[in-house]
Amino acid sequence: MEKKLIIANWKMHYGPIKAGAWIRAFRRERLPKDLDVAVAPPFISLASVRASLGRASIPALASQDVYWEMEGKFTGEVSPPMLEELGIQYCLVGHSERRKHFGETNETARKKAIALQAVGISPVLCVGETVVERRDGNALKTVRAQVRAGIKGVKPDGKAPLHIAYEPVWAIGSGRACSPHDIREMHEAIRGILRKAYGAKASDVRVLYGGSVDEHNILEYMTTSGIDGALVGTASLDPAAFGRLCRASIVT
């Protein structure tokens, strides 16, 4: 397995000016060499982040969303080639907030993932159960269905390998992180589906965890077997705290 990956998801925070300032501050942070780090700003701030990075390749750029058509009459949307022009490396699809507020489904997430791979951008398919689904004993069933539907036609490997982020909805932004035991159980189930779909190539897919990860609990997650990285929302908004989180994620 390659390096672990941490993606900062800023959600709807930081327009172009503040985003540029974040990057300039973050570039002063010392980062572990054995770690991939990416930042996912809002669409409107992607160009400013790219400009503030200059020639630096760390953090890599990620997008929070995309539309699946390459061009056309789709007012307000952003296409995969537009992201590719800016050197975007990763793009979230199927984030639970998009599923909840904007009608994202397994099918739209899948179409976005396929369109992204066509232009060389790695899709990060987000999956996770609600609190009711967990309470009713349906967590595994829900996540298995999301993964099976979301990866149809999506390649595990190549220039833009698939990534999966397991993010229990009840753990996102709640301060109630999932226990490493429960994450391991879910990641094993996800790996089982990937092995069935992709055979040996399944090991090219990094499976991340997201949900109330911070600088204090990151190491426990990153040292839990089967977790290949983290998707971090709230704890990524402060560049110094996010720098500490990245350093705390690896035993040196």
CB of 70 to ligand PEP, least distance (A): 27
Q: Do 233 and 31 contact (CB within 8 A), yes or no?
A: no
- Contact between 210 and ligand PEP (CB under 6 A)? yes
CB atoms within 10 A of CB 41: 28
For 46-75, the three-class secondary structure string (H helix, E strand, C coil) is HHHHHHHHCCCCCCEEEECCCCCCCCCCCC
Cα distance between residue 106 and residue 117, in whole Å: 17
Asked if 216 is an active-site residue, the reply is: no
Closer to ligand PEP by Cβ: residue 198 or 221:
221
CB of 75 to ligand PEP, least distance (A): 26
Asked if 188 is an active-site residue, the reply is: no
The interface with ligand PEP within residues 145-174 (CB under 6 A) comprises 167, 172-173
Rounded to the nearest 10 degrees, the angle between the axes of helix 239-248 and helix 16-26 is: 40
Query: Of 53-61, 105-113, 146-154, 227-235, which segment contacts ligand PEP by CB under 6 A?
Result: 227-235
β-pairing, 206-210 vs 163-166, is parallel
Contacting ligand PEP (CB under 6 A), which of 123, 150, 161, 211?
Answer: 211
Tell me the residue type at 139. Answer: A
Which bin fits 225, alpha (ψ -120 to 50), beta or left (φ > 0)? beta
Say how many residues make up the chain: 252
Closer to ligand PEP by Cβ: residue 80 or 210:
210
Contacting ligand PEP (CB under 6 A), which of 164, 213, 218, 246?
Answer: 213
Cα distance between residue 119 and residue 68, in whole Å: 11
Catalytic residue among 104, 129, 167, 215: 167
Closer to ligand PEP by Cβ: residue 151 or 245:
245
Query: Of 13-21, 156-164, 189-197, 208-216, which segment contacts ligand PEP by CB under 6 A?
Result: 208-216
CB of 167 to ligand PEP, least distance (A): 5
Closer to ligand PEP by Cβ: residue 9 or 52:
9
- Contact between 249 and ligand PEP (CB under 6 A)? no
Cα distance between residue 107 and residue 73, in whole Å: 21
Closer to ligand PEP by Cβ: residue 119 or 235:
235
Question: Strand locations in the chain, DSSP E?
Answer: 4-9, 35-40, 60-63, 90-93, 122-127, 163-166, 206-210, 229-232
The interface with ligand PEP within residues 5-34 (CB under 6 A) comprises 9
- Contact between 123 and ligand PEP (CB under 6 A)? no
Q: Which residues contact ligand PEP (rule: CB under 6 A)?
A: 9, 167, 172-173, 210-213, 231-235
Q: Would you name the residues annotated as active-site residues?
A: 95, 167
